[in-house]
A and B are shown apart, each in its own frame.
Chain A
Amino acid sequence: MSEPPAVVLSGVRYGWQPALPVVAIDELRIGHSERVFISGPSGTGKSTLLGLVGGVLVPQAGTVTILGTDLGALSTSGRDAFRAEHVGFIFQMFNLLPYLSVIDNVALPCRFSAVRWRRAVAGSGGVPAEAARLLGRLGLDDPGLLRRPVTQLSIGQQQRVAAARALIGRPRLVIADEPTSSLDANARASFIDLLLAECRDAGSAVLFVSHDLSLAPHFDRRIALADVNRAQADRRAA
């Protein structure tokens, strides 16, 4: 039995003001466990697209189908539940909760999704153990480091904690919005390698947004947003 594609957009229109579409995509398909790099200049709607894929934004027209589920058919809280279960997010800002320990930050998605909790437990026997394993894979295995408040970690370390949090419980889709823009070139390459290796093992699809084209070779496919998003062209034509 073949797995459904990770993402299918068809006829999607979205504008923060409905009269001004930011995203207009007739067809976009990302295969099961495919790793895709999306590039485009600033302000062209990359983050908006990720919001649509994550079910945070609802398109004014068209359908967003994630892992075979039409998000439009779900209620708001249904979409929230779906996202909690199947989608891991990494942001440009590291976005860790300052009042939780490193391990608790990583374990957070498992507190909101029973499925991810079970997968984490199945992986390492327990959620904290799975969190520690992921952190180890990302090069954070110093026990002294893990005990420190997250606010005392370096930027690269925080970014890896955020990645481990997106990966825990093996979500089927990992969405990363410019997660490397605050890292230097070396750290950037090794971070991407680790992230992608872990996603390969978990069989997760990856949607990775950046305007740093040097990262593109790490991925299965590169999409220039301008090629699929007709919004800008439409606007110019109008």
Chain B
Amino acid sequence: MPRSPIFRLALASLWNRRATALLTVFSIAVSVTLLLGVERIRTEARASFANTISGTDLIVGARSGDLNLLLYSVFRIGNATNNVTWQSYRDLAARREVAWTIPISLGDSHRGYRVMGTSSAYLEHYRYAGDRRLELAEGEPMAGVFETMLGAEVAKQLGYRVGQQIVIAHGLGTASFLEHKDKPFTVTGILKKTGTPVDRTIHVTLEGIEAIHADWQQGAPLPGQRVSAEEVQQRDLTPTAITAFLVGLKSRVATFRLQRAINEYPEEPLSAVIPGVALQQLWDLVGVVEIALLAISGCVVLGGLLGMLAAILTSLNERRREMAILRSVGARPWQVFGLLVSEAGLLAAAGVAAGFAFTYLALLAVAPFAEDAFGIVVRLRPPGTYDAIVAGGVVLAALLMGMLPAWRAYRNALADGLTIRV
């Protein structure tokens, strides 16, 4: 028995016009890549952000927008406008409903990575990605004034090992001119990779932060008042202020009450935010952009498909002879119809397949950059439901569009009969 000839003929005919066919496939592939890629980045960004902090009930900092507070305290994006005094921190941390607090002191950096002063509570209480806690890959937690604990990414990128000494720069940015050269820190431990901004953080003790600024005032060294590393350790290094602190409560029920109390704290203007709520604000903010991006991608896909339609329609006239030949050897009009529909389907399927390949290649290429610049960990997951819907949708749309030239070819085939007018 003859096998179904239409599909094979469609393939052979496309191969014969492979230059144009390839262009069509490419334009569909690019549009599909965009649609898949935008969604990938979107979900990866969300998952990555949502996984960065868990178990923390409130984030407290100087009065500012909720989002800003969340971004600088947890994601190391942006800066604090003001500090929280040590007294206020101690006062609030001592409240009955508070189970634990993690103080955070920011403002310095080392070769582009932010330095964060904190306490031993950090290792003990910080949680991410559900209920995972920070663990050391090697070495020990920092303890002394001039000891530091590095995030996995910092150690890897800069090639640092336990025992090494590093110098912290004042302020942020890679090219900081003012360095705390006289007070180097010794690496005592390196944290395991977490896929969160912790990986890109250099951790020191609050006392360490205090010590390097002992002979500084208002962002500059005090002239003629050098205090050596040995001398400074004799001083009282209790900080006067911190940037923010994370709060864990004994019972979640107390969250809103404590939040209100902090927001109305009489001693100084403070803000307390619930991480989930602030994240939701972030999603609301970027949601519009996401929808716009998806809409644009959708239009690009439509454009790709319309390009295909135009290519097939223009080819119809020069292929009238081909259709008539097929009918003369016994192809039914519906088979001529099927030939063109399957041609559209083949082009779209090839475009989708190439689009998937492009997407994964692009993700591979973008992943290191996304992690470096935004702390977004892009995992290479196998295609999911969304991808299947995109693939199916594009092919289906192509098949539907293919019906237009197919219908015209069908009409031509009936009208031309076997005499071919070219």
Most chain A C-beta atoms within 10 Å of own C-beta, residue among B12, B16, B326, B418: B418
In the complex the two chains form, is B419's CB within 8 Å of A111's CB? no
Interface residue A183 (Cβ < 8 Å from any Cβ of B): no
Residues of A within 8 A of B9 (CB): 97, 100
- Give the distance in Å from the alpha carbon of A116 to the alpha carbon of B3 in the complex: 13
Interface residue B393 (Cβ < 8 Å from any Cβ of A): no
Interface residue A56 (Cβ < 8 Å from any Cβ of B): yes
- Give the distance in Å from the alpha carbon of A99 to the alpha carbon of B322 in the complex: 10
User: What mask results when residues 30 to 58 of chain A are scored 1 for a CB within 8 Å of chain B, else 0?
Assistant: 00000000000000000100110010110
Interface residue A95 (Cβ < 8 Å from any Cβ of B): yes
Q: 8 Å CB contacts to A: which residues of B1-33?
A: 1-3, 5, 9, 12-13, 15-16
Residues of B within 8 A of A93 (CB): 321, 420
Q: 8 Å CB contacts to A: which residues of B299-353?
A: 321-322, 324-335
A89 touching B329 in the complex, CB below 8 Å, given contacts A54-B418, A95-B420, A117-B1: yes
B331 is contacted by which of A100, A104, A112, A116 (Cβ under 8 Å)? A112
Most chain B C-beta atoms within 10 Å of own C-beta, residue among A89, A93, A97, A114: A97
In the complex the two chains form, is B328's CB within 8 Å of A91's CB? yes
Interface residue A81 (Cβ < 8 Å from any Cβ of B): yes
Interface residue A186 (Cβ < 8 Å from any Cβ of B): no
Interface residue B417 (Cβ < 8 Å from any Cβ of A): yes
Number of CB contacts from chain A to chain B under 8 A:
80
In the complex the two chains form, is A99's CB within 8 Å of B329's CB? no
Residues of A within 8 A of B3 (CB): 111
User: What mask results when residues 80 to 124 of chain A are scored 1 for a CB within 8 Å of chain B, else 0?
Assistant: 110111000101010111111000100011111110110000000
- Give the distance in Å from the alpha carbon of A167 to the alpha carbon of B244 in the complex: 90
Q: 8 Å CB contacts to B: which residues of A49-71?
A: 50-51, 54, 56-57
B418 is contacted by which of A81, A91, A104 (Cβ under 8 Å)? A91
In the complex the two chains form, is A100's CB within 8 Å of B417's CB? no
A89 touching B418 in the complex, CB below 8 Å, given contacts A77-B334, A83-B330, A97-B325: yes
User: What mask results when residues 406 to 419 of chain B are scored 1 for a CB within 8 Å of chain A, else 0?
Assistant: 00000000100111
Q: Which residue of B has the minimal Cβ distance to A54? A: B418
User: What mask results when residues 377 to 419 of chain B are scored 1 for a CB within 8 Å of chain A, else 0?
Assistant: 0000000000000000000000000000000000000100111
A112 touching B13 in the complex, CB below 8 Å, given contacts A51-B417, A54-B418, A95-B325: no
- Give the distance in Å from the alpha carbon of A178 to the alpha carbon of B121 in the complex: 97
Most chain A C-beta atoms within 10 Å of own C-beta, residue among B322, B334, B419: B419
Q: Which residue of A has the minimal Cβ distance to B418? A: A56
Consensus secondary structure, chain B interface = helix
Residues of B within 8 A of A76 (CB): 333, 414
- Give the distance in Å from the alpha carbon of A76 to the alpha carbon of B327 in the complex: 12
CB distance from B367 to the nearest CB of A (A): 42
In the complex the two chains form, is B332's CB within 8 Å of A95's CB? no
Q: Which residue of A has the minimal Cβ distance to B12? A: A99
A77 touching B325 in the complex, CB below 8 Å, given contacts A114-B1, A114-B2, A117-B1: no
- Give the distance in Å from the alpha carbon of A212 to the alpha carbon of B403 in the complex: 44
In the complex the two chains form, is B328's CB within 8 Å of A100's CB? no
Q: How many residues of A contact B (CB 8 A)?
A: 33
In the complex the two chains form, is A110's CB within 8 Å of B2's CB? yes
Q: Which residue of B has the minimal Cβ distance to A171? A: B330
B330 is contacted by which of A50, A96, A98, A109 (Cβ under 8 Å)? A109
- Give the distance in Å from the alpha carbon of A100 to the alpha carbon of B8 in the complex: 10
In the complex the two chains form, is B332's CB within 8 Å of A80's CB? yes
Residues of A within 8 A of B420 (CB): 91, 93, 95
- Give the distance in Å from the alpha carbon of A111 to the alpha carbon of B4 in the complex: 7
Q: Which residue of A has the minimal Cβ distance to B328? A: A89
CB distance from A119 to the nearest CB of B (A): 12
Residues of A within 8 A of B331 (CB): 80, 84, 112
User: What mask results when residues 161 to 203 of chain A are scored 1 for a CB within 8 Å of chain B, else 0?
Assistant: 0000100000000000000000000000000000000000000
A51 is contacted by which of B5, B15, B329, B418 (Cβ under 8 Å)? B418
A84 touching B329 in the complex, CB below 8 Å, given contacts A56-B417, A110-B2: yes
Q: Which residue of B has the minimal Cβ distance to A113? A: B330
CB distance from B5 to the nearest CB of A (A): 4
Q: Which residue of B has the minimal Cβ distance to A85? A: B330
Q: Which residue of A has the minimal Cβ distance to B8? A: A111
Residues of A within 8 A of B419 (CB): 47, 51
A80 touching B418 in the complex, CB below 8 Å, given contacts A99-B12, A99-B13: no
- Give the distance in Å from the alpha carbon of A50 to the alpha carbon of B1 in the complex: 29
- Give the distance in Å from the alpha carbon of A76 to the alpha carbon of B1 in the complex: 23
CB distance from B16 to the nearest CB of A (A): 3
Residues of B within 8 A of A77 (CB): 332-334
- Give the distance in Å from the alpha carbon of A80 to the alpha carbon of B328 in the complex: 9
Q: Which residue of B has the minimal Cβ distance to A101? A: B12
Q: Which residue of A has the minimal Cβ distance to B414? A: A76
In the complex the two chains form, is B335's CB within 8 Å of A112's CB? yes
Residues of A within 8 A of B418 (CB): 50-51, 54, 56, 89, 91
- Give the distance in Å from the alpha carbon of A57 to the alpha carbon of B417 in the complex: 7
Q: Which residue of A has the minimal Cβ distance to B14? A: A99
- Give the distance in Å from the alpha carbon of A168 to the alpha carbon of B394 in the complex: 41
In the complex the two chains form, is A95's CB within 8 Å of B1's CB? no
In the complex the two chains form, is A112's CB within 8 Å of B5's CB? yes
Could you name 6 residue pairs across A and B whose Cβ atoms are closer than 8 Å? A51-B417, A93-B420, A97-B326, A108-B329, A112-B329, A117-B1
What 16 new A-B contacts, CB under 8 Å, besides A99-B15, A109-B330, A113-B2? Answer: A54-B418, A56-B327, A56-B418, A76-B414, A80-B327, A80-B330, A81-B330, A84-B329, A89-B328, A95-B324, A97-B9, A98-B16, A112-B5, A112-B330, A112-B331, A117-B1
